[in-house]
Structure 1
Amino acid sequence: MGSTEKAPRDLFDVIIVGAGIAGINAAYRLQTEIPSANFTILEARGGIGGTWDLFNYPGFRSDSDLYTFGFSWRPWPGNKCIADGDSIRKYIRASAAMYGIDQKVQFHHRLVAANWSSDQQAWTLLIDKDSHEARFHARFVILSTGYYDYEEALSSHINGIENFKGTVLHPQFWPKDFDYKDKKMVVVGSGSTAVTLLPSLAETASHVTMLQRSPTYIISRPSVDPFGAWVHKFLPAAMAHRITRIKFLLFGFLFIKFCAFYPLAARNLIKKVTVKELPEDIPHDPHFEPRYNPWEQRLCLCPDGDFFKAMRSGKASVVTDTITTVTPTGIQLASGKHIDTDIIITATGLKLKIGGGAQITVDNVPHTVGEKYLWKGVMLQDVPNMATCLGYTNVAWTLGVDATAILVARLLTSMRKRGITSAVPRLEKGADMKTVTALNLSSTYVVKGAKAVPKAGDRAPWMPRITYLADLWDAEYGNIVDGLHFEKVST
């Protein structure tokens, strides 16, 4: 195959889109595994950190342990295994600075569209640079933009919300220095955001009510891991961190398998520990008795039992009911109860979006992300030289994006050695493959946003991610030929 156009001169080997935890990790893997690679990072916002730079609602923190959520190449330096958002943001930025990755970031560069040219064997990226148009070119693109919409939250219809005379907020857009002292507040939702918000708000507000249509599983965990603290007393820091990390990986894996194979036993175990945490006036059923089995939706963690402490203090409560309508002074429920409130927090979920919503075209032909299968959970079907960083839903997100970065670095190294200019995931014509979800959760925001997320299949190499250890092995040693179409084109 020949070429009719020359590749542009201002050409990067790789462009990483997004300077969050996935983008910084991808940059580290690139400069470690392929030191000669010329790359840059384009970040739409003005700071490093992604999600951790965006959210600032009260109590914002991790819901995964930092031993596995932190970078494998730079151990989490704090003693808390569940940490606040500000500490995590500082950790990401310090990690980037330590390896010079922060110098590769170009801020206020938002990806609008990306077009692959088969003749040039390169991507042209249309960028919004402070409201001015710019173009970048790359041989390979890594989308490290997360999985949700930064500009728009998940819409959730609440009847009569326009009647409310108080304040309505979504946690994603929490105003700086918002004053809620001695206010009555209702948090609508039961996911990790609501569970995080409630104990923090209760410290200042008059009273906080978590209003949920259906309950979730909430598990208390020490913010400082006793085992980790113990091994750090007797072993060098690097060794202690590695051992603690392995412990969290194994225990997390075993617990998820236990929940999958013995759901009734898992339900009973969680119920037993939850009942011990609850005050006598708050029953387990219906408020903490989900209709689904553990890990069909993500479990919520509360460090040092702060959620239950807020309940026991009397400054927080939970109501399981459905909303009939919102009145000028509160919320009218189907049960007939009316909750008086000054502030309504709609913690109803995130709107899924891949690649920041950028238009992706191949030779000017549009490709819709939600209609494509994912090769090894990484590359979009029929789209050359583009990787998508998606993590796990049941363990630390960082583990999944690191497996992706390792696989991409290995693929790029192989392509360089073989003189290959493009790799395109192709699904065989007539292949009888069943479609499965790439994000294996039944949460409302996942179900509503399913069409925005790439698909997975029931056979390799199109299957969804399984477990970190298996995916890590596959990234380092697995087959990186099956399912890919390679081209060598002179440009």
Structure 2
Amino acid sequence: MLATPPDFDVLIVGAGISGIGMAAHMEMMCPDRSYTVVERRENLGGTWDLFRYPGIRSDSDMHTLGFVFEPWKHEKSIADAPAILDYLNRIVDERGIRDKIRHGHKVLSADWRGDEARWHVTAELPDGTTTTFTASFLYLGSGYYDYDDPYDPGFDFGEFQGQVVHPQFWPEDLAYAGKKVVVIGSGATAVTIVPAMAEKAGHVTMLQRTPTWMFSRPAKDRIANFLRRILPDELAYRITRWKNIKLQDIGYKRARERPEKVKEFLHKRIRKIFGGSGYDVADFTPPYNPWEQRLCLVPDDDLFEAIKRGKAAIKTGRIARFVKEGIELESGEVLPADIVVTATGLKLAVAGKIAVSQDGAPVDFAQRYYYKGCMFSNLPNLAVVFGYLNASWTLRADLNSDYVCRLLNEMKANGADIAVPVLSEADEAALEEDDIFDFSSGYIQRSKHIMPKNAVDFPWRLNQEYVLDRKRMAEDPVDDGIVAFRRVGANASAPEEQLEAAE
């Protein structure tokens, strides 16, 4: 034992999907280890509690966005935020996690002390004071974007006399019934907001600089609902989950291998919905191939139905300026607006913007290689979750939680205080670096400079292929010759096990 034990064996940052998933895995796989979850907000749920805009829902099916260990039992597989929050709340209550969540703790910094083999984590409380925790292992389930500052494209709203709203900071009392609304953007947020607001608004226009590939599917999975009627919940869930993972994997690979065929398929679906008329195909034809950016899901054709009813429209064009009555495009056309919604995207953040350091020296994640999409080169006892871009976030969260729990158990079996993926200078020089994200999305391209490094070959990479990752994570031994298991200080029984503080 270390001379002074840390406050917790594991400190989990964030009580969203990633953090709750890790806590549940701790309960199942490491019941003898202590942990706590620190959450900056007063509610759990992360993204699903933060965003309050109309229609907020998943853009992945809940049989894969749900956890591997907890069946999704709702009738709709494309679920709204309240249903997702119910799911998460049930998990924390049934699995004894709620009492281990500390709300109102915004983590500011985390310093790894090599001579103590623990993290010193400083968090800010609601009253502005700070508190410090120590933990042997740090698990960051803090998401992938900046919770404080969304992407700002630099609009000058000039003479515009209406109201401007960003989806990340949606006002509870926004009155839009009967109003003319322009939603700027063409991503998942805009595609969600437009049909939801169209139910009450006078008219909603989605203003896009470039189109996005869209595909429709029913919000209810008929096969999943049928299986649940005839099979136990867990078995029905496993089958549906496997089905959806395989279909997604096939669809993604087909888009990359035969993009023209997939374009034709997507256009055919849209033509069928509109009856062959009443829309401009150019508004649904991006200048890139499907899955070079994430496809936008349109459940139950809701966006298309709003357009067909005349309650919504899509306009492709560039903004010249904002005028009193709305937005003037470079074409000279003016889009009248009482309310402008700037669904212009997110700004990525690494490690939840926490100031991470190692023995007092700041850690620059852009100079570290990913290890198994979970840990980082030469950084001890720390793991993160960055979900898939081409599949559900939770698929990676489940993999990483399972891996870290197995790593913790391996450390215990070895009597180790430290687990670190070791990458020597010589080995790093021999690595062939790869593009970490082969996606053209603006929020991805704007943030590449802050992202960790990615090698061509596993394990020094963040993959975008869940099926392969699941196989590798399950089959590769935790003690793979890359992760070094070490003891510290008085725990080290041999000179070679002693650690230098600067290591």
TM-score (norm 2): 0.93
Counterpart for residue 175 of structure 1? 171
CA distance, structure 1, for counterparts of residue 3 and residue 205 of structure 2: 59
CA distance, structure 2, for counterparts of residue 484 and residue 456 of structure 1: 17
Gaps of 5+ in 2: 491-503
Counterpart for residue 321 of structure 1? 317
Counterpart for residue 493 of structure 2? none
**In the alignment, structure 1 residue 403 sits paired with structure 2 residue 399:** yes
Counterpart for residue 495 of structure 2? none
Q: How does 1:18-57 map to 2 (within 5 A)?
A: 18-57=14-53
- Conserved? CA contact 2:319–2:329, under 8 Å: yes
Moved more, 234-243 or 89-98: 234-243
CA distance, structure 1, for counterparts of residue 101 and residue 160 of structure 2: 43
Q: How does 1:205-244 map to 2 (within 5 A)?
A: 205-244=201-240
1:46, distance to aligned residue in structure 2 (A): 0.6
**In the alignment, structure 1 residue 140 sits paired with structure 2 residue 137:** yes
CA distance, structure 1, for counterparts of residue 3 and residue 148 of structure 2: 34
CA distance, structure 2, for counterparts of residue 111 and residue 440 of structure 1: 31
CA distance, structure 2, for counterparts of residue 470 and residue 400 of structure 1: 12
Q: SS state of the match for residue 305, structure 2?
A: helix
- Conserved? CA contact 1:332–1:338, under 8 Å: yes
CA distance, structure 2, for counterparts of residue 109 and residue 475 of structure 1: 32
- Conserved? CA contact 2:366–2:451, under 8 Å: yes
Gaps of 5+ in 1: none
1:473, distance to aligned residue in structure 2 (A): 2.4
- Conserved? CA contact 1:461–1:483, under 8 Å: no
> In structure 1, what residue type is equivalent to 2:325?
T
Q: How does 1:333-372 map to 2 (within 5 A)?
A: 333-372=329-368
Counterpart for residue 68 of structure 1? 64
Moved more, 84-93 or 465-474: 465-474
CA distance, structure 2, for counterparts of residue 277 and residue 455 of structure 1: 43
Aligned identity (percent) is: 38
- Conserved? CA contact 1:410–1:476, under 8 Å: no
CA distance, structure 2, for counterparts of residue 178 and residue 437 of structure 1: 41
> In structure 2, what residue type is equivalent to 1:143?
L
- Conserved? CA contact 1:111–1:128, under 8 Å: yes
1:456, distance to aligned residue in structure 2 (A): 1.3
Query: Across the two proteins, how many residue pairs are aligned to each other?
Result: 486
Counterpart for residue 462 of structure 1? 460
Moved more, 300-309 or 224-233: 224-233
Among 153, 157, 170, the residue aligned to 2:150: 153
CA distance, structure 1, for counterparts of residue 4 and residue 193 of structure 2: 49
> In structure 1, what residue type is equivalent to 2:447?
G
Q: SS state of the match for residue 457, structure 1?
A: coil
- Conserved? CA contact 2:183–2:207, under 8 Å: yes
Q: SS state of the match for residue 281, structure 2?
A: coil
How far does the alpha carbon of each residue in 1:45-79 deviate from its partner, in whole angstroms, 9 at most, with x for none?
Answer: 11111101111100000000011111111111201
CA distance, structure 2, for counterparts of residue 358 and residue 312 of structure 1: 46
> In structure 1, what residue type is equivalent to 2:43?
G
How far does the alpha carbon of each residue in 1:259-298 deviate from its partner, in whole angstroms, 9 at most, with x for none?
Answer: 1111111111111101222366643432000111111100
CA RMSD after TM alignment: 1.6
Q: SS state of the match for residue 124, structure 2?
A: strand
Q: How does 1:55-454 map to 2 (within 5 A)?
A: 55-130=51-126, 131-158=128-155, 160-278=156-274, 282-430=278-426, 431-454=429-452
Q: SS state of the match for residue 393, structure 1?
A: coil
> In structure 2, what residue type is equivalent to 1:151?
D
Moved more, 209-218 or 324-333: 324-333
1:233, distance to aligned residue in structure 2 (A): 2.9
CA distance, structure 1, for counterparts of residue 6 and residue 222 of structure 2: 52
Moved more, 377-386 or 212-221: 377-386
- Conserved? CA contact 1:113–1:127, under 8 Å: yes
1:466, distance to aligned residue in structure 2 (A): 3.6
Say if 1:90 and 1:452 are closer, same or farther in 2 by CA, change over 3 A. Answer: farther
CA distance, structure 2, for counterparts of residue 162 and residue 485 of structure 1: 58
CA distance, structure 2, for counterparts of residue 337 and residue 386 of structure 1: 53
CA distance, structure 2, for counterparts of residue 284 and residue 254 of structure 1: 29
